[in-house]
Amino acid sequence: MKMLVTGATGKLGSKVVETLLKTVPANQLAVSVRNPEKAEGLRARGVEVRQGDFDRTETLDTAFAGIDRLLIISADGDNETRIRQHTNAVAAAERAGVKFIAYTSIANAKESKNFLAPTHQATEEAILKTGIPYSFLRNNWYLDNEISSIQGVLAGAPWVTSAGNGKVGWALQQDYAEAAAAVLSGRGHENTIYELSGKLLTQEELASALGTVLGKEVPVQQIDDATYADIMKGAGVPDFLIPMLVDIQKGIREGTLEIESNDFEKLLGRPGTPITEALTQIVNGISTK
């Protein structure tokens, strides 16, 4: 049985591959990457490295040839770009005769009003239309996405947010990676949807947990979206990223990530890493860089 992970040199993809290599022989694993030279380390360990560019369908036909189980990790970019790229990948998987597709989606994808949801709705729909057995890994939110805010707190800044009392199911990227690896390499996951989420917390509760880890109080500055955008600009965030960051805050405020679930336990045999332990890992990672 041959498995393939797309985007395997990215942050999530690389963690998925490392997790798989603990239980799966390297010769059963292939990766599809835009720049194969970035995956030379994997090739040296016996993983088959294939060139696959979601914008060049001919490369995907070659990349997915002979693959039984495929993990499509959602690409970066605006919704229009991602929908096009993901649709290309799903069509190539169908042409290649792939027997199972796992896909990293977003919380409550089908009904979500989150600004990122259209990509995932379209991709899930494309996968369903193929009739290929699937698993949708509806990832809530990566705690790792908050590293810049945590760095700000370490430098003495407050926790700045316009997300109000919206709750998020933060979990470590490593937890999401282990769940994806379990689905790709395991059995009995055909035609499943997993809502993967840590314990739901508000921004205040997250800041309080961070304060516990740091041994100091972390003040929370609740502001409106316009002020949030100004502060991000003042912090040196590139202009093109600011609307996305504001939309993330807005989506949280409107409850789009408030999806409670214990599906991590189904896949990992344990809940997601507890928030203080997860924050400790991130803080330690920052301080060792």
Overall pTM surpassing 0.95 (yes/no): yes
Q: What pLDDT is attached to residue 287? A: 79
Distances, alpha carbon 265 to alpha carbons 15, 65, 200, 223, in Å: 19, 33, 15, 36
> What CATH number has the domain spanning 140-172+198-258+272-289?
3.90.25.10
* Residues forming CATH 3.40.50.720 domain(s) in the chain: 3-139
Residue 289 predicted with pLDDT over 70: no
Report, as an integer, the average pLDDT of 66-73: 98
Closest alpha carbon to 276 in 164, 152, 172: 172
* 254-282 per-position pLDDT tens digit: 999 999 999 999 999 999 999 999 999 99
| % of the chain exceeding 90 in pLDDT | 98
pLDDT score for 6: 98
As a whole number, mean pLDDT of residues 46-60 equals 97
How much is the average pLDDT of 175-183?
Answer: 98
- At residue 288, does pLDDT exceed 80? no
Q: Please give the pLDDT value at position 221.
A: 97
Percentage, residues of the chain above pLDDT 70:
100
Q: Classify residue 201 by its DSSP letter.
A: B
Position 21 pLDDT exceeds 70: yes
Assign domain 3-139 to its CATH architecture: 3-Layer(aba) Sandwich (3.40)
For the chain, residues classed under CATH 3.90.25.10 are: 140-172+198-258+272-289
Q: At what angle do helices 203-214 and 275-287 cross, to 10 degrees?
A: 60
Residue 23 has pLDDT above 80, yes or no: yes
Residue 31 to residue 33: CA distance in whole angstroms: 6
Residues 6+ apart with CB under 8 A from 185: 3, 20, 23, 24, 69
pLDDT digits (tens, 9 = 90+) for 124-137: 999 999 999 999 99
